[in-house]
A and B are shown apart, each in its own frame.
Chain A
Amino acid sequence: MNAVAATDLAERLTGLVDALRSHGLRIGTGETVDAARAVEALGLADRELLREGLAATLLHGTAQRPVFDAVFDLYFPRAVGAPEGGPADREGLRDRLAAALADNDTALMGRLAVEAVDGFGGYGSSPGSDGWSSYQALDRLRPQTLLARVRNEVRGRDGGAGFGDRLLEDEIRRRIEEFRRLVAAEARRRVAERRGRDEIARRAVAPTADRVDFLFAGKDRLAELRRTVQPLARKLATRLAARRRRAARGSIDLRRTVRGSLSTGGVPMRPVLRRRRPARPELVLLCDVSGSVAGFSDFTMLLVQALHDQFGRVRVFAFVNRVDEVTGLLVHGAADPEGLGARIRDEADLTGWHGGSDYGAALGEFIERYAAAVGPRTTVFVLGDARTNMADPNLPAVRELVRHARRVHWLNPEPRSHWGTGDSAAPEYAELVEMYECRNVRQLDALVGRLLPV
């Protein structure tokens, strides 16, 4: 490797590390040096080896991998510039794509993605306003409409008999999904060539799932989050158990220590620790499930449900402008998390004569109808953005709640800087209860681990 290439490589590597850091991955200098040593040991001949080598040295967790893959594709692209050969025609490309999907030939699908972006993804003509769009390329190519054709082709080839046949459609769907991902990556690469790698790596690569804002998470991001509920709950349960153990040791039971010392002539040889009664903390969740914060509430409800065996009793109430108990729906909903939100909104009685959320009315009704749910052993979590639609925030109801409950915490999915803007009553509520900013899974994880009673 000559000197020029070596500086270029070092620059590229630090650029990659910088881009990863801007996505919140903590990578030290030591890891960067290791990465460089890995490159030296592996060589640059095989791109996939390089990818794995850099991932092994730079990453610390599984969740970071999607971000890494996207950024890696930008800094160590598969190819540079436009593909060789003339522009592809749409039908020809679709034919070849159908064949690639039928054979599950990933390498060919990658090459077709390159051609697709080149042929159909470009927009604009003047330098500065032009670019490459995966959306446009996929819209022209419509790979999803190939499903029936590919299915028939595969069926025709191996007879369509056997058990595997019923899996076929799903498999082809997954392959098409993979092709869409390839097209998106290719479009990002082409844009990066035009606009500069560093900027695209920061802006166009989706963040890791635990840093996605609940309020802006799209449908598939929320689905991705739901899949993290079980592992997250397991981690939290471990942490709670550790806290419980720590809380259980420490204080000395003087009476029993002195009593025990009689057998050793009054010398307290064995201190007796006070045994804690296994308290069964109770949990009440009061969730705003109106459109704006539904994603956040659904996720948190599932998480608490997954943790339910840690508590004596968990009751969950949902509200928009009226309150209803949804504990039962949640227990059955564990098997079908996608439909949970819709079912809660269908089956529970949550809205009066308008559809907007009204915290004042909902809190008042909760105190009125379900006051018995809250006792001195109950910790209450209120989930919501505290946007009252200009209605009365009903602070007396909150005071009443605080008076009855052991603790009241409020998790607000809005950034702290937005509290109190517009119709948000967050500052008023925050004076009465402890309110926390909880914008993404990372913050929720930290808060729940700290705030849940043990």
Chain B
Amino acid sequence: MFTSVDDVSARLAATGYLASHAVATTVFLADRLGKPLLVEGPAGVGKTELAKAVAQVAGARLVRLQCYEGVDESRALYEWNHAKQLLRISAGRDESWEETRADIFGEEFLLPRPLLTAIRGDDPKVLLIDETDKADVEVEGLLLEVLGDFQVTVPELGTITAARRPFVVLTSNATRELSEALRRRCLFLHIGYPDAELERRIVRLKVPGIDAALADSVVRVVGALRAMDLRKAPSVAETVDWARTLLALGAGTLDETVVRDSLGVVLKHQDDVLKAAAKLDLDAV
């Protein structure tokens, strides 16, 4: 899919995703080695966006499995269409048992869920398994076969192997430690907060009207906030939100009043706001 790491960076950038060195390298390797990519990192640094950008670059269809507590085989893999099977049985009353049985477990009655969808068919696909850590441990077992060999076993039909391997991205917020078995099948990528240079570029890309000096000071303040050991450090998403807010407020430069009034956009806990205000020498908020 890609010829070099620089190629990855350039093509992702063309879709509006500015990738760091680490991200570009790992995406390149995931493509080359044909392994799934496990992405961890704090909320709002663009884990899900990465999968969308890769799909766009590759001209592939994005198949998304959103994990939550209680997601199971019938939501992730496949399900038999029971209603249709019943209709089929009652429609063919005169048939013998043998004919009926062979029939109702055919492809026609199979409802493919994301994992099976990603494996079947010849068109290129990007499979995004979002928030893997929210799913129960049992689901990880399910993923092992899919991610290790890119195949799915349906007892009634046999094993379905991918004709064309999808590009797989798993994301996790690390609320739960994923099992070692799952980690070993993946390339690991931690997306942290970007460095100042990259973040400036992101802000200027996402907020087109912003003045360069303002973008620069926004990024500096956010960098200082991240060094403060807050309950929830601001993410790239918050930086962009803040830049948008400042633009909407018509603020040309950052000064004390502007920062004090808009700190709530960046920080989501009152404790954090108070702490940051104290450290930045703002007057009482």
Please report A residues at the B interface, Cβ cutoff 8 Å.
Answer: 26, 28, 30-31, 34, 37-38, 41-42, 48-49, 52-53, 55-57, 59-62, 65, 162-164, 166-167, 170-171, 174, 227, 230-231, 234-235, 238-239, 242, 335
Interchain CB contact under 8 A, B220 and A42 = no
Determine the distance from Cα of A195 to Cα of B44 in the docked complex, in whole angstroms.
45
CB–CB B217/A164 < 8 A: yes
Which residues of B come within 8 Å of A, CB atoms? 5, 21-22, 25-26, 28-30, 32-33, 35, 40, 136, 174-177, 180, 183-184, 187-190, 216-217, 220-221, 223-224, 227, 229, 231, 253-256, 259, 271, 275, 280-281
Q: Is the CB of A167 within 8 A of B175?
A: no
Contact of A52 with B26 in the complex, beta carbons under 8 Å = yes
Q: Are B175 and A38 in contact (CB under 8 A)?
A: no
- 10 further interface pairs, Cβ-Cβ under 8 Å (given A57-B33, A163-B255, A171-B220): A31-B184, A42-B5, A61-B40, A61-B183, A61-B188, A65-B190, A162-B253, A163-B217, A167-B223, A235-B177
User: Are A167 and B33 in touch, CB under 8 angstroms?
Assistant: no
Whether B33 lies near A234 (C-beta < 8 A) is: no
Question: How distant is the Cα of A60 from the Cα of B281 in the complex, in angstroms?
Answer: 40
Q: List 11 A-B contacts (CB under 8 A).
A: A41-B29, A41-B32, A52-B22, A52-B25, A55-B188, A56-B30, A62-B190, A163-B253, A167-B224, A171-B220, A335-B275
Least Cβ–Cβ distance between B22 and chain A, in angstroms:
5
* Alpha-carbon gap, A291 to B96, bound state (A): 83
CA distance A113 to B123 in the complex (A): 52
Residues of B within 8 A of A235 (CB): 174-177
CA distance A28 to B186 in the complex (A): 13
A49 touches B25 (CB 8 A): yes
A31 vs B190: C-alpha distance in the bound complex, in angstroms?
17
**Given the complex, which residues of A lie within 8 Å of B223, measured CB to CB?**
167, 171
A164 and B222 alpha carbons, distance in the complex (Å): 11
**A55 → chain B closest CB, angstroms:** 8
Give the Cβ gap from A88 to chain B, nearest Cβ, in Å. Answer: 28
Q: Chain A residues near B229 (CB, 8 Å)?
A: 227
Known A-B contacts A56-B25, A56-B26, A227-B229; the reply to A238 vs B33 at CB < 8 A is no
CB nearest neighbor in B for A237: B175
**Are B33 and A41 in contact (CB-based, < 8 A)?**
yes
The complex places the Cα of A339 from the Cα of B281 at a distance, in Å, of 20
Contacts of A52 in B (CB 8 A): 21-22, 25-26
The CA of A242 and the CA of B33, in the complex, are separated in Å by 35
Give the residues in chain B near A30, CB-CB below 8 Å: 184
Q: Which chain A residue has the least Cβ–Cβ distance from B229?
A: A227
Residues of B within 8 A of A61 (CB): 40, 183, 188
| A171–B180 CB distance below 8 A | no
Contact B175 A49 (CB under 8 A): no
How far in angstroms is the closest Cβ of chain A from B280?
6
CA distance A60 to B188 in the complex (A): 6
Question: Which residues of the other chain, B, contact A230 by a CB distance below 8 angstroms?
Answer: 231
Could you say which of B175, B180, B187 contacts A57, with CB atoms under 8 Å apart? B187
A37 to B264, CA, bound (A): 47
Contact B176 A238 (CB under 8 A): yes
Closest 6 CB pairs of A and B: A52-B25, A163-B254, A60-B183, A56-B26, A56-B187, A41-B32
Q: Chain A: which residue is nearest B137 at the CB level?
A: A242
CB pair A234 B189 closer than 8 Å: no
Chain A residue with minimal CB distance to B213? A162
A239 contacts B180, C-beta separation under 8 Å: no
When A30-B184, A52-B22, A57-B187 are in contact, do A170 and B177 touch as well, CB less than 8 Å? no
B227 lies within 8 A of A164 (CB):
no
Q: Which residue of A lies closest to B190 (CB)?
A: A62
**Contact partners of A65 in chain B: CB under 8 A:** 190
Known: A52-B26, A56-B29. A167 touches B221 (CB 8 A): yes
Contact B220 A231 (CB under 8 A): no
**Known: A163-B254, A164-B254, A166-B281. Is A56-B188 also a contact (CB below 8 A)?**
yes
Closest chain B residue to A335 by CB distance? B271
CA distance A28 to B224 in the complex (A): 39
Residues of A within 8 A of B281 (CB): 166
The answer for the CA separation of A53 and B28 in the assembled complex, in Å, is: 9
Chain A neighbourhood of B188, CB < 8 A: 55-56, 59-61
Which of B28, B176, B221 contacts A163, CB < 8 Å? Answer: B221
Q: How many Å lie between the Cα of A10 and that of B217 in the bound state?
A: 47
A138 and B216 alpha carbons, distance in the complex (Å): 32
In the complex, the chain A residue whose C-beta lies closest to that of B22 is A52
- Tell me the complex Cα distance, A278–B74, Å: 31
A37/B176 contact (C-beta < 8 A), A171-B220, A227-B229 known: no
Is the Cβ of A238 less than 8 Å from the Cβ of B175? yes
Quick check: A53 and B29 within 8 Å, CB to CB? yes
Closest A residue to B189 by CB, please name it. A56
Residues of A within 8 A of B224 (CB): 167, 170-171
A227 contacts across to B, CB distance below 8 A: 229
- How distant is the Cα of A220 from the Cα of B180 in the complex, in angstroms? 29
Contact A60 B180 (CB under 8 A): yes
Chain A nearest CB: distance from B162 CB in Å?
20
Q: Closest approach, in angstroms, between the C-beta of A449 and any C-beta of chain B?
A: 10
Looking at the assembled complex, report how far the CB atom of B277 sits from the nearest CB atom of chain A, in whole angstroms. Answer: 12
Q: Are A41 and B28 in contact (CB under 8 A)?
A: yes
Cα A166 to Cα B280 in complex, Å, equals 7
Q: CA A7 – CA B193 in complex, angstroms?
A: 38
Chain A residue contacts of B275, Cβ below 8 A: 335
CA distance A60 to B40 in the complex (A): 10
Residues on A with beta carbons closer than 8 Å to the beta carbon of B227: 170, 174
